[in-house]
Structure 1
Amino acid sequence: MNWLDWYNTLSKPDWTPEPSTISLIWQILYPIILISFGYVFIQVGKGSIPKVKAIPFVINLIANLSFTPLLFGLRNLPLATLDILIVWFSILWMAFSIWRHSRWVAFAQVPYFIWVSIATLLQISITYLNWKV
């Protein structure tokens, strides 16, 4: 069974967005993420921002990129839920960490944080609705 067929078999809350809507949201967010993260990594490389400030960005990037393989590859709902919680917490950490050095980067994380907050609630709901003891 392919990933979409598997996903469609899961119980989901009534407010679950269509996959095409989720895809569109990420198409908007990924350029924001690319530009803001790229800026931070370049500034860290130049020494304009302390290296420690890049840690939450690296953690977020790894967790963000891990979500799809965990959910749709491994089809592991609890692990995907843990992963998205890491994404959510790391966005807050990023914004607070970078605030003194680049407020625009911190503000650029707001739409990302809003969407990941919704996606986190969705993932927790799906995991709960499909929990098999």
Structure 2
Amino acid sequence: MTWLDWYNTLSKPYWTPEPSTISLIWQILYPIILISFGYVFLQTARRKFPSTTSIPFAINLLANLSFTPLLFGLRNLPLATLDILVVWTSILWMSIAVWRYSRWVVFAQIPYFIWVSIAAVLQVSITWMNWKV
């Protein structure tokens, strides 16, 4: 069964966006993430930001990139839910870590934070609706 066939068999809230809408949102967000994260990693490498500033960005990047393999590769709803909560939490941590050094990076994360908030509620809902004891 393909990942899409599997995903379509899951119970989902009525407000679940179509996969094409989700894809479009990520196509908009990924350039913002690339530029803002790249800037933070570059400034950290140049020692203009403390090295600890990049830690939440690295965690977020790893967690973000892990979500699709966890959900659609392993088809593990609880693990994907935990992962998206790490993504969400690390966005807050990133904003706190970089606020003193670059406020534009924090403001650039607002659309990302909004989308991940929606996606986290969606993921928790899907996990709950498909929970099998």
Range into which the TM-score falls when normalised by the shorter chain: over 0.9
Paired residues, number: 133
Q: Which residue of structure 1 lines up, in the alignment, with residue 8 of structure 2?
A: 8
CA RMSD after TM alignment: 0.3
TM-score, with length taken from structure 2 = 1.00
Q: Which residue of structure 1 lines up, in the alignment, with residue 76 of structure 2?
A: 76
Structure 1 runs (4+) greater than 2 angstroms displaced: none
Distance 1:51 1:112 in 2: 23
Give 1:112 deviation, angstroms.
Answer: 0.2
Give 1:96 deviation, angstroms.
Answer: 1.0
TM-score, with length taken from structure 1 = 1.00
Q: Any unmatched runs of 5+ in structure 1? A: none
> Could you give the per-residue CA deviations for residues 18-42 of structure 1, whole angstroms, max 9, x where no partner exists?
0000000000000000000000000
Alignment of 1:1-133 (within 5 A): 1-133=1-133
Distance 1:54 1:47 in 2: 11
Distance 1:124 1:68 in 2: 15
What percent of counterpart residues are identical? 78
> Could you give the per-residue CA deviations for residues 49-93 of structure 1, whole angstroms, max 9, x where no partner exists?
000000000000000000000000000000000000000000000
Distance 1:95 1:15 in 2: 29
> Could you give the per-residue CA deviations for residues 110-133 of structure 1, whole angstroms, max 9, x where no partner exists?
000000000000000000000000
